[in-house]
Each structure stands twice: as structure tokens, then as C-alpha cells.
Amino acid sequence: MIKKVQDIIENEKGSAVVLLAAAMVVLAGVMALVADVGVNYVKQNNLSVAADAAALAGGVKLNMGKSYAEEAAVEIALKNGISLENLSVEVDETGKGITVKTRGPIYKFFGRIFNNAGGQMEQLARVAMTRPVGFFDIFPLGVDETANITFGTELNLFGDELLGSGNWGALQFKDEDGKYQTGANVFRENLKHGFSGLVMIGDEARAESGVNSGPIRDAVAYRIQEAAKTHECSLNNCPSGCPRVLILPIYTAASEEDANKTKFVEIVDYAAFWISSIEGQGSNTKVWGYFIKPHVTGTVNEEGESPYGMTSIRLVK
């Protein structure tokens, strides 16, 4: 009887060893899976970030031409650790979009234990050129959509060649409470820094006949000084967001003038005006500059092209 009991105990010890060995194999497999998944998740995220950054960098240069867009995308991808053999950059035939693919190996350090060979992972990002339909920091002077806007010619912002009468209206926009911002001080600040709220195509604004040239002259001088603090500005060397670029709302009349020479207008688009110089005093003030076709950032945008040449970009994939 004693001998039989000893045999049973020894058999159970052998079973425990087998179970322990099987558990260790399972545990090793789980650890390998967790380690490999973690490493590859980080790697995939890095590839995605690099693809997005490269596509956005190339998208900014789309309006300059295919070679500029490709060069910008490659430069950013390399800075993010992507080698040339693991990079693909393609600009659309239309020049309106750019696609970037980044590749890298799938790491299976522990997976090799189970003869599980690695492969390749890939991330894709696409940026498309769009048109801006909404702006913050808009300059509160409106341009009638019938104005003769030309590019490549220096113009006086208040000259007859633009509106005939030279009479640009000061625009008032609604604040967060839906009330129109009024007052001379508010207008001065909006001229200097732009209206802080978001103005969208289709929004309504209030336009008052006549513009006091004093605040406009002060604001333009201020903007020129601010730009000089950060860069040497010229027509062909003006970075995005430069204070010397005025984003002007294009409007159409939404109502007739009332007895106070006030009317409501609808914003239908935007144009960009780069200030070259300012001269004169009072009613003889002249603000010289050029209408330009810049690439702009920090906007609300949608697919399509702006009739006034401004472009924006969107990460669409």
C-alpha cells in the first residue's frame, strides 16, 4: 500500500513539471507578442508622423511647382529619420495635391523564436490644395466685388483704379454674443491686429460709408514696423502671417443704405494685399501695394479654387 501511494505522488510531481513547462512557453509567447506589438506600434506612429509632416511641407510649396513640393517633402522626411529607399513622394499631374508614403521593417525580435519572420509596414499621407473660406484676424475694410482687382501692378489702396470713388467702407463684425463691435477704439485695434473672431464666406457685416484715414495710416505704419522686427519683407520674400499682408473681405451689398449711411453686406470671398509703402496725410493718404496670391495658413478651407488666387492646404488622408 505504501509503495502505491509513493508511485502516485511521484506521477503528480511529473505532471506539475509538464504543466509548468507549458505555462512558461505560453508566457514567453505572450511576452514576445507584447514586446513586438509595442515596438512596432511606436515605429508605425513614427512613420505616420513623418508622412504627415512631409506631405504638409510639400503641400505648402505646391503653388511654387512640382520640384519645390517634392524637395520640401523629402527634406522633412529625412529630418524625421526616413531614408530615401523607404520614401515615396508623388505630386499629382494637376499640381493640386501631393502623396507621401513612408516604409519601415516590422520588427519581430522575440517572434523569431517561433520562426515568425518580419515584413514591412507602410504609412500614407495626402495633402490637397484648397481654398480658404474662413479667416481669423481679418482686416476690417471691405472691397466691393465689382472692384477692378489686378495682380502684378502697384496700386493705391484708396485709388480710383480700384473703386472709382476711392471710398472704402469700414466693416463691423459680430462678436461671440452676436452683437456688432462698434467704437473708434475697437476699429483701431482691428486695423492693427485684425478682427479676432472667425469670419466666414456668407457672413453678414455692417459697412459704414467713408473711412477715417487717420486710424488706417496709424495701423499700416504699425504693421510695417512689426514686420521689420522679424524679417526683411519684400514682395517676393514675405512669410505667411506677415503683418504687411492685409486679408481683405470681398463683399456684395445685402441691403440699401439707411439714413445713417449704413448698410449690411455679405462676405463672398477674400483677397490679399501686400503693403509696399505709405505716404501723404489726411484725405491725401495713399497706401501703396500689390494684390498677391499667397498660400495662407490658419484658415477654414474647402475643396476648390479661389478666384482671387489664395490657396490653403488640407491633410485629406
Q: What is the pLDDT of residues 79-113, one digit of tens each?
A: 999 999 999 999 999 888 999 999 988 766 655 55
**pLDDT recorded at residue 20:** 54
Q: Which three cell numbers stand for residue 40?
A: 512596432
DSSP 306: -
pTM value is 0.72
Average pLDDT per block of 10 residues along the chain, 317 residues long: 56 55 58 61 85 91 89 94 93 92 78 60 91 93 85 82 55 85 84 92 83 81 94 89 93 70 85 92 83 87 89 86
**pLDDT recorded at residue 164:** 44
d(C-alpha 313, C-alpha 78), whole Å: 22
Q: Which three cell numbers stand for residue 165?
A: 470713388
d(C-alpha 130, C-alpha 152), whole Å: 23
How far is C-alpha 59 from the chain's CA centre?
Answer: 10
**pLDDT recorded at residue 298:** 74
Cell 487717420 belongs to residue: 214
> pLDDT digit string (tens) for 44-62?
888 899 999 999 999 888 8
**pLDDT recorded at residue 166:** 44
Torsion sign over Cα 238, 244, 247, 253: negative
**pLDDT recorded at residue 137:** 92
Parallel/antiparallel/unpaired status of strands 141-144 and 245-253: parallel
Name, in order, each residue with C-beta under 8 angstroms of 253's C-beta and a sequence gap of 6 or more.
Answer: 144, 263, 264, 265, 266
Parallel/antiparallel/unpaired status of strands 87-91 and 286-292: unpaired
